[in-house]
Copies of this chain bind each other. A is one copy, B any other.
């Protein structure tokens, strides 16, 4: 690309350094910002720079947070005896969006994957064990993707926790709501028959 302006070129390169954004898209975004108010663009830059400078990792659950303890860990109305273990903060947001969970979280930062060089020590598993040892936690809910790496991670954590008096559950697996049975994969369909649950009549 031939830029007639260094300022333009630097801004395009900044956007193009982000994942999934090529030079053409970057140029489109920059030309959009050229037409915005100076104040709006200042706010745009500030929001991003401030976020990176001030954001913290919650010292209890490792979720992203504005303070030492995240909003969820600080919330006294939530059930502090249940901890949901997830891979990343996107999963926390997805579960929060359902509005169905009122306990706390623990963000692992990934799953055990020898192929990608991620061992237990790269994750926040020690911190989870510590947290359960020190606090009154009754239940751990494993909300981890049902992949080979995910299952390995659940297995490893359950072994580490076996001497602590804590119940371990996993989120239910089965056929999606709204999904057509014939398109469900064999493994999911097979397991959802084996793990069938009593029908609850809607009163």
Residues of A within 8 A of B (CB): 1-8, 10-11, 13-15, 17-21, 25, 27-34, 36, 38, 41-55, 63-66, 70-72, 89-90, 92-93, 96-97
Contact = CB atoms under 8 A, between A and B. Distances in A.
A19 B66 CA distance: 28
How many copies of this chain does the complex contain?
Answer: 2
Given A20-B28, A31-B90, A90-B31, A48 B2 contact: no
A47 B53 CA distance: 17
Contacts of A36: 52
28 contacts: A2-B97, A4-B63, A4-B64, A4-B70, A4-B92, A5-B64, A5-B70, A7-B55, A8-B51, A8-B55, A10-B50, A10-B51, A13-B47, A14-B43, A14-B48, A15-B48, A20-B28, A21-B29, A27-B93, A34-B64, A38-B52, A41-B48, A41-B49, A41-B53, A42-B49, A42-B53, A44-B49, A45-B48
Contacts of A49: 41-42, 44-46
Nearest 10 CB-CB pairs, A to B?
A: A2-B96, A45-B49, A11-B51, A45-B45, A41-B52, A14-B47, A10-B47, A7-B51, A4-B71, A14-B44
